[in-house]
Structure 1
């Protein structure tokens, strides 16, 4: 399976070697789109896709996502990035060039429940999640055979609140060795410390088994059942120091009623969790997410 995916990855890199995305956030003012479009044209680029959003035309923030193709991009990239600094300074931009052929090196964290992990692996295998899965890390050994059947390195690192510091030191060492750029918490049931999170700001995506901000923390299905809710959901968000309160990327819900017990609600919830996490990861990989404060702008 790994060899097949390596072949697919190389084909994707080759096909997209001249394609990049430009993400911009800046104060709204006239002339931004014209300046950026003109710059790309002057540098021989053809805009493939463009999305923009004005938070408030009078003094708010302005957001752009442009995807473009430029022959010989890898040879031109340094010149393009340096030259763009003039426009960036003029409009007070925070901007990033993202190169489509540079697949994000990803690690997946998981505990006992594997439904989200399996969804990610199949989406990756089918070419629907374009990333390099470098490793899977778990505080249980249960999913080793599954992960290794995909040819992906698996690391079992026991973790709980009593040994959290030592566990995270081991995890960080592995992540650095693999050059990880994105961490996906696929139902990893451990709280990450601020020290760990600080190593990967805006690079850790979690799935919470609740429609946040309802039922933050542990045992949300039990609490939802006790409250008699009629809708249950799941939320994928970026991890920050505040538990389950990071910028939200995607959410989903399903209807339940008085006949659904906790076990049935969990079964319904697992289906929601799989799809919500997969969509959130896909949007992150496609550079469709711009974080602004504790919110996100998602370009479809």
Structure 2
């Protein structure tokens, strides 16, 4: 099978962008297999995701050099990635392991194209007796208010040593410092157990129950220094009734959290998420 590549870009919108990119791909032997684009008229920015392969004589270095020229001409942010090069992903978790279990299952059956670099928890390995961590290094990193700077320094060192591309907070119930959040900007995904921006902070399901809500949800977003306010990637909801207890909401919430996080992770791994200021553009299938 021909090697496949994904080209993503964003830039101020103006005529000629698509023509210039398509010409560069054609000129250096590429074949466009799929293309999605979006024009944000309010922000006057253009976004596109292009999947291409080798038409028989692809000159990848030449294409990259030509795209650099096109990018300079149109003030583009761009990247091109070989689809066979799987991203390296670090998973952080606390006591609740349902999201971690779901990610590991999807990875093992080949649904998530990634390479797990490590699992880090502020709880010991014995917390997860029913999960299979075979082949994935596990690190127990306890944390307290006093030890947080040291613990986060260990996490950052491990990110660098393992050449991790993406960090996933799979119900990691610790708030990252501004310093670590800044270092991981654009490559750290969190699952929040409510439909943001409502019910932030502790016990969101209890807050929702107290307010008598009829829908509960979950939100996957990129981590920023502003707590639970990073660019949103995916959300989903479930309808509930007045008969449901807080425990019922937690149980139903686990299912929402699993599927929302897995979709957000999948889309990131497939280069379907492009940053658009405080928002995201998500190119779904």
TM bucket (normalised to shorter chain) is: over 0.9
User: Structure 1 CA distance, aligned partners of 2:250 and 2:56?
Assistant: 51
**Secondary structure of 1:275 counterpart:** helix
1:177 to 161, 164, 169: 161
Find the counterpart in structure 2 of residue 27 from structure 1: 12
* Structure 1 counterpart of 2:266, from 282, 285, 294: 282
Q: Decide whether the 8 Å contact of 2:6 with 2:51 is kept in 1.
A: yes
SS at match of 2:221: strand
Superposed, 1:1-80 pairs within 5 Å as 18-56=3-41, 60-70=44-54, 76-80=59-63
Which of the two has greater helix per residue? 1
Measure the CA separation in 1 of the matches of 2:241 and 2:152: 41
Q: Which residue of 2 aligns with 1:92?
A: 75
Please give the per-residue CA displacement for 1:101-122, whole angstroms capped at 9, x wherever unaligned: 1111110000000100000000
Change in 2 beyond 3 A, CA 1:144/1:265: closer
Measured against aligned partners, the alpha-carbon deviations of 1:275-296 in whole angstroms (never above 9, x if no partner) come to: 0000000000000000011100
1:136 maps to 119
Residues 1:126 and 2:109 are matched in the alignment: yes
**1:106 equivalent in alignment to 2:78:** no
CA distance in structure 2 between the aligned counterparts of 1:160 and 1:272, rounded to whole angstroms: 29
The superposition leaves residues 17-54 of structure 1 with CA deviations (integer Å, 9 ceiling, x where unpaired) of x2111111111111211111111011111111100011
Q: Name the CA shift for 1:149/1:94 in 2 (closer, same or farther; >3 Å).
A: closer
SS at match of 1:64: strand
TM-score (norm 2): 0.94
Which runs of 5 or more structure 2 residues have no equivalent in the other structure?
none
Q: Which runs of 5+ in 1 are unaligned?
A: 1-14
**Any conservation in 2 of the 1:144–1:154 contact (CA below 8 Å)?**
no
Cα distance in 1, alignment partners of residues 192 and 206 from structure 2: 14
Aligned length: 283
Cα offsets for 1:135-157 (capped at 9, x unmatched) = 10000014455555432110000
Structure-1-length-normalised TM-score: 0.90
After superposition, the Cα gap between the structure-2 partners of 1:185 and 1:276, relative to the gap in structure 1 and judged at 3 Å, is same
Does 1:238 pair with 2:238?
Answer: no
Between the aligned partners of 1:77 and 1:146, the Cα distance in structure 2 is 45
Report the counterpart of residue 152 of structure 2 in structure 1. 168
Distance 1:143 1:80 in 2: 49
Structure 1 vs Structure 2 CA RMSD: 1.8
- Residue of structure 2 equivalent to 1:9: none
Taking the aligned partners of 2:98 and 2:128, their CA distance within structure 1 comes to 14
The separation in 1 between residues aligned to 2:120 and 2:135, in whole angstroms, is 14
SS in structure 2 of the partner of residue 166 of structure 1: helix
**Matched residue SS, 2:191:** strand
Q: Per-residue CA shift, 1:172-218, capped at 9, x if unaligned?
A: 12222211110000000000001112222100000000000001111
Shift of the 218–36 alpha-carbon distance from structure 1 to 2, 3 Å rule, reads same
Q: Indicate if the aligned counterparts of 1:53 and 1:64 stay in contact, CA closer than 8 A.
A: yes
Contact (CA 8 Å) 1:211, 1:232: kept in 2 or not? Answer: yes
Residue 71 of structure 1 deviates from its aligned partner by 6.0
